[in-house]
Structure 1
Amino acid sequence: MSNTMKAAVWYNQKDVRVEERDIKEVKDNDVKVKVSWSGICGTDLHEYEIGPILIQTDNPNKLTGEKAPLVLGHEFSGVVEEVGSNVKNLKKGDRVVVNPVVTTGKHSPETDRYYDFYSAGLHTDGSFAEYMISPAENVVPIPKELPLDKAALVEPLSVAAQAVKEAKVKDGDTIAVFGCGPIGLFVIVAAKAAGAKEILAFDLSEDRLHKAKEVGATQVLNTKDKDAVAYIKETYPEGVDASLEVAGVKPTFDSAISATKPKGNVVVVAIHARDFEFNPISLMTSGVKLSSSLGYEFETFKKSIDILMDKNIDVNPIMTKKVKLDNIVEDGFHSLSSDLTQAKILVELSGEI
């Protein structure tokens, strides 16, 4: 068997090359996964367009000892190809997803990711490759009824599910989602799974709002046409139970606070690219609780598999395109940045379903 594989490797900004790469050794506590499908994340796109952001180019990551060039990709599914000698709970042929984030385990499961961690595709080789090596403890078997292309959505869904958990969304709640890009769409899915009764979604793109309706939003509004807060207050004069800010700009941040009832939760999910002025008095006078959400707890990652298995949940509209690894730059990155009808683009590796 060949010791090399085809992979998409990040060298620098606007420089991702599909080339042959050595397959790493499977150590005693590792699992080698034959990758089936791998989604393109907004993080991957940002690393391509304006990076390096999280990828380290000068000094190696202190946990992995690695730096660029690295294989990108961290949202993926696959089939176990080989296990290390200490691995007893997984075997060749198991269908799996992999939590790409490895923490030190020195802190609580709720906070560990806010200390030292590394992620596949950013600090060590990732999943835009034929094979991926992962610590066994991060590898999670999936039900045989879950198709492997849909299983590649577990990781981005986990980001959204964690944010919904932080927002304390419960049965019967009314929530507002500001921004209906890929993570915004997954927030709608996760909020529906958490029991939200009314999900109001806001965006500037009709295509994205259409998708929001398809995946579970009960009302949508193009904020080019009307102010979101005014729209919300017509029906809910006290405000919504929770707002999730997934657009990453000041107007939606302000709207999320203004739209939420006293003691309601506003959770910032988006990565904000630039600073803006914010006066905390808007929180003090409204009684709103403001927090943020980064990544996810491992338990949330596992529970996201259950969300995908829920018969009332439909994530198919979020999978908008499948591309070959050879064409990842043109059909993947370029398409994602220029075409607002795209949500989650999946890269085909083995293509097994």
Structure 2
Amino acid sequence: MRAAIWYGARDVRVVETAVPTPRPHEVLVEVAYCGICGSDLHEYADGPHAIPVAAPHPASGTKAPLVLGHEFCGTVAALGSSVTGLAVGDPVAIEPNYRCGTCPRCRAGEYNICQHFGFAGLMGDGGLADYAAVPRYMVHRLPACVPLEQAALFEPASVALHALRRAGSLGDTVAVVGLGPVGLLTVLLAAERGVRRIIAVDVAPARLAIAARLGATDLVDAAGGIDAAAKIHELAGGEGVDVAFEVVGSETALRTCLAATRRGGRVVLVGLAQQVRLDAFALVNNEQSIVSSVGYRDTYPELIRLIAERGIDLTPVVTSTVALADVVTDGFEALLNGAGDQVKILVAPHLTAARSPQAATNETEATR
């Protein structure tokens, strides 16, 4: 089979390798689609960050070089000897979290903060390949009414859904600052929950346009030095929003969220910033709360239900679908150099290599 293997920063190679043989507790999946995540992009650009290099990850037993890709779906190709509840040919979505099942957090059901937390495709071999072998607990069988094109977005949608859950009550007004795939899907899922006013903030007009399609009631173009927090306050009736989602991973975005949130409101940190400075005096005086959100847990069943029963559509965030052989040029490099026009790129191993960007985009449009 072919696989996109990470050897180092700016060194991802699509190579021929053996099809994995599933161990007794594993499922072999023929990959239909695999999304490129911002985490993958960081590993490509200047990694390693999460990829284990010196020693194998304790949950996967794997270290670099390894197969990238944790946002994937496909069909069951083979079953390990102890696997039950699945059959060859079943369409499946992969929830790529590694978990030990025995640490205190796993026993409490909080497997997204397992002490051996990690992802297939970052800490072990993933789905940027023709086939991937994963533990049975990662595999969710899909009903016939849920297309694989939708399931390809379950992973980033799960990050958004978990962040909404972490926010608690959303109130009447929310702001989403940062409109990458997770931010856009936060807009969509907030709209599905009936939030009256959703203010979407970004610097890229193309992403703001997608947010409007997904349910944003107001758009704030933060380019050109605009005071985004003041604009959000104005749109929220002068008081500020009930909840703001920081989905950028920067101190500037966090400050915007805090300044845009009403007294007693909440900010949910989803973006991955390093260090930030806060005005703790203002935070206390305004009795605001900052809540963090990492990964997700128990989200795939709800997403399956939302698509099967309510007909929500995750695919507007997809801007290109490319062949596995072209993942570096038309995937990683396109995202690094796309100036915000690219949002979510899916890699489809079944596509013929060296397709034009327009042909790939046309195929994506045809699946919607």
TM-score range relative to shorter protein: over 0.9
Moved more, 216-225 or 107-116: 107-116
Name 1:278's counterpart in structure 2. Answer: 278
Deviation per residue, 1:294-337 (Å, 9 max, x gap) = 1001x123212233346463333211101000000000001011
Letter in 1 for 2:9: Q
Matched AA of 2:58: K
> Which residue number corresponds to residue 220 of structure 1?
219
Tell me, in whole angstroms, the C-alpha distance in 2 between the residues paired with 1:243 and 1:266: 5
Q: Give 1:329-344 correspondences, 5 Å limit.
A: 329-339=328-338, 340-344=340-344
Q: Deviations over 1:133-191 (max 9, x none)?
A: 11112100112122212210001100111011111244x62100011112111111121
Structure 1 CA distance for aligned equivalents of residues 307 and 41 of structure 2: 25
Note the C-alpha offset of 1:111. Answer: 5.6
Q: Which amino acid aligns with 2:245?
A: L
Contact 1:258 1:286 in 2 (8 A): no
- CA drift of 1:237 comes to 2.4
What is the 5 A alignment of 1:67-78? 67-78=63-74
Deviations 1:93-130 (A, max 9, x none): 11100111111123222365252123111121100011
- Change in Cα spacing, 1:338 to 1:307, as seen in structure 2 (3 Å) is farther
Query: 1:122 and 1:91 mapped to 2: Cα distance?
Result: 27
Identify unmatched segments of 5+ residues in structure 2: 352-362
Distance in 2 (alpha carbons) for counterparts of 1:201 and 1:30: 41
Alignment of 1:60 onto 2:61: no
Q: Could you tell me which residue of structure 2 aligns to residue 138 of structure 1?
A: 138
**Partners of 2:167 and 2:23 in 1: how far apart?**
40
Which letter maps to 1:284? V
- How far apart, CA to CA, are the structure 2 residues paired with 1:255 and 1:175? 13
- 1:165 is matched with 165
**AA paired with 1:246?**
V
Percent identity among equivalent residues? 39
Residue 292 of structure 2 corresponds to 292
Question: Is the 1:8–1:17 contact (alpha carbons within 8 Å) kept by the matching residues of 2?
Answer: yes
Note the C-alpha offset of 1:58: 1.5
- Tell me which amino acid in the other structure corresponds to 1:164: L
- Equivalent residue, structure 2, for 1:259: 260
- Give the whole-Å Cα distance in 2 for the aligned partners of 1:87 and 1:329: 35
Structure 1 position 195, deviation (Å): 2.4
Deviates more, 1:343-352 or 1:305-314: 305-314
State whether structure 2 residue 83 is matched by structure 1 residue 82: no
Contact 1:28 1:85 in 2 (8 A): yes
* Alpha carbons 2:112, 2:294 under 8 Å: kept: no
Q: Is the 8 A contact 1:166 1:267 kept in 2?
A: yes
Higher relative contact order (Cα pairs below 8 Å, separated by 6+ residues): 1
| Distance change >3 Å, CA 22–CA 173, structure 1 → 2 | same
Look up the equivalent residue of 1:117 and give its one-letter code.
F
Residue 65 (structure 1) shift: 2.2
Structure 1, 187-196 or 334-343: larger mean CA deviation: 187-196
Counterpart position of 1:126 = 126
- Give 1:346 deviation, angstroms: 0.4
**CA distance in structure 2 between the partners assigned to 1:81 and 1:180 by the alignment:** 35
Number of residue equivalences: 346
Matched, 1:12 2:8: yes
1:278 CA displacement: 1.9
Cα distance change of structure 1 residues 288 and 335 upon mapping to structure 2, 3 Å threshold? same
Conserved in 1, the CA contact under 8 Å of 2:99 and 2:111? no
Q: Is residue 240 from structure 1 mapped to residue 236 from structure 2 by the alignment?
A: no
Query: What corresponds to 1:191 in structure 2?
Result: 190
RMSD: 1.8
- Aligned ranges for residues 297-316 of structure 1 at < 5 Å? 297=297, 299-309=298-308, 311=310, 313-316=312-315
| Alpha-carbon offset, residue 228 of structure 1 | 2.2
Contact kept, 8 Å, 2:20 with 2:133, in 1: the verdict is yes
3-state SS of paired residue (2:17): strand
2: CA distance, partners of 1:305 / 1:263: 34
Alignment partners' CA distance in 2, 1:65 and 1:90: 25
Change (3 A) 1:114 1:290: farther
Asked if the contact 2:9/2:44 (under 8 Å) is kept, the reply is yes
Which residue type is aligned with residue 166 of structure 1? R
Shift of 1:63: 2.5
CA distance in 1, matches of 2:213, 2:189: 14
